[in-house]
């Protein structure tokens, strides 16, 4: 799990299904009800995902916008 404090977001890698899931962070807790499939990110998020998980985000359906 990657926590991106700047955006109050947590990101989970699902290697089996080749997806990345995003969750909101509220009151310092991950809101699991906010789960969504991550498909677009800015350059900062892209770089954080790539370096944390050691993947190419586009291989998991995530595009940089």
Q: Give domain limits for the chain.
A: 2-64
pLDDT tens by residue, 18-61: 999 999 999 999 999 999 999 999 999 999 999 999 999 999 99
Tell me the pLDDT band of 2, cut-offs 50, 70 and 90: very high
Distance, CA of 24 to CA of 44 (rounded, Å):
17
Give the pLDDT confidence score for residue 7 in this predicted structure: 92
Tell me the pLDDT band of 1, cut-offs 50, 70 and 90: very high
Q: What is the DSSP letter of 38?
A: -
Give the pLDDT confidence score for residue 12 in this predicted structure: 97
Q: 20: exposed, middle or buried (C-beta count within 10 Å: 0-12, 13-18, 19+)?
A: buried
């Amino acid at each position: 799990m990657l926590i991106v404090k700047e955006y109050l977001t947590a990101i989970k890698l699902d290697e089996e299904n080749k997806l990345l899931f995003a969750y909101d962070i509220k009151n310092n807790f991950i809101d699991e009800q906010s789960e969504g499939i991550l498909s677009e990110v800015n350059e900062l998020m892209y770089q954080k995902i790539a370096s944390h998980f050691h993947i190419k985000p586009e291989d998991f359906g995530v595009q940089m916008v």
